[in-house]
A and B are shown apart, each in its own frame.
Chain A
Amino acid sequence: MGWIGDTVDSVKSIQLRQLLTQAVSLGMIVTSALIIWKGLMCITGSESPVVVVLSGSMEPGFKRGDILFLHMSKDPIRAGEIVVFNIDGREIPIVHRVIKVHERQDTGEVDVLTKGDNNYGDDRLLYAQGQLYLNRHHIMGRAVGFLPYVGWVTIIMTEKPIIKYILIGALGLLVITSKD
């Protein structure tokens, strides 16, 4: 009978208020990160305002692990711009340079051909079957700035998810065991 009483005592001693406060502050951290991300999406006009370079097709300019800041404006797409685009059927966006532009007289719509700086040939092999050019709706943004090396954190966490779990576990443990 003694240990039931002990268990009940320890359950009652968990201060509910302190637990709730910690849960709320954790929620605040997560939601403010979300607000910053969504705010960036609004300011830059692009669905993903920051991307990590995953392949070596733009070396030596952009190496694997660099991050690119994107911006999308209504300005027409011109040769030489570095654009990020999605191919139908592929989920990973590609960051390459525009080498050919054909802009229509009447509608202002545009056919665009891209190529990675470090690739030998243009991107027609990457496009969907039968697709010769990209159009404006494929393009998610133009690269306007970059930071080297910062993206390795994302690459490591994606390729070795165990590290992601360890990190989140450690942070959670830190939050729960903190005395203040």
Chain B
Amino acid sequence: MHSFVYRLNGLLTFSVTILAIMCAITSLSDNLHTPSPSAEIQVMNINWFQKQPQGNDEVSLTMNISADLQTLFTWNTKQLFIFVAAEYETPKNSLNQVSLWDAIIPSKEHAKFWIHTSNKYRFVDQGNNLRGKEFNLTLHWHVMPKTGKMFADKIVLTGYSFPEEYR
């Protein structure tokens, strides 16, 4: 009962248990933190708006995205994954979400930013329903912790719409 192997086994079990408990407590400490982020997105220009040969609408737009997400960072945050998605409804689909742009924010210093960009991913509808349609732009963020539970939230900005005709 007191041989080297048994002592090693006991030591390893104990240290793994302690590490697991520490990770759990670290993750729980994230619940104590209430963030207050803010963001604003302006659609500067609809670059073009066409119907593809397969029949799906595609649009390219340029946006100004500015946000202050510094309050989302805690000591347990490894990085923040943010993305801007357009959400809209069509006759066939109750909800469509299309991710237009995303970024990884590795630290608190980078969390307050302003960027002027065109959509990183192609905005293609499932069908040709976009003419004159209203849509929301949402800024989502996913907090990826150093260890433990991941959580996500978003800000919804309304009031954007597509042009009535292709151009």
**Distance A108 CA – B93 CA, assembled complex (angstroms):** 9
Q: Is B29 an interface residue (CB 8 A)?
A: no
Name the residue of chain A whose CB is nearest to the CB of B145: A146
Q: Is the interface of B mostly helix, strand, loop or mixed?
A: strand
Closest approach, in angstroms, between the C-beta of A11 and any C-beta of chain B? 28
Give how many A residues have a beta carbon under 8 Å from the other chain's beta carbons. 29
In contact, B99 and A79 (Cβ under 8 angstroms): yes
Q: Is B12 an interface residue (CB 8 A)?
A: no
Chain A residues with Cβ under 8 A from B154's Cβ? 80
Chain B residues with Cβ under 8 A from A99's Cβ? 83, 98-99, 102, 121
Q: Is B149 an interface residue (CB 8 A)?
A: yes
Q: Known: A99-B99, A102-B126. Contact between A145 and B1, CB under 8 A?
A: no
Interface residues as binary, B1-13 with A (CB distance below 8 Å gives 1, 0 otherwise): 1000100000000
B97 CB contact (under 8 Å) in A79, A148, A180: A79
Give how many B residues have a beta carbon under 8 Å from the other chain's beta carbons. 34
Q: Is A64 an interface residue (CB 8 A)?
A: no
In contact, B150 and A145 (Cβ under 8 angstroms): yes
Chain A residues with Cβ under 8 A from B85's Cβ? 79-80
In contact, B94 and A78 (Cβ under 8 angstroms): no
Q: Known: A103-B96, A104-B94. Contact between A148 and B149, CB under 8 A?
A: no
Q: Of residues 133 to 167 in B, which have CB atoms within 8 Å of A's CB atoms?
A: 140, 142, 144-150, 152, 154
B5 CB contact (under 8 Å) in A61, A101, A108, A174: A174
Q: Of residues 101 to 115 in B, which have CB atoms within 8 Å of A's CB atoms?
A: 102, 104, 106
Interface residues as binary, A103-125 with B (CB distance below 8 Å gives 1, 0 otherwise): 11100100100000100001000
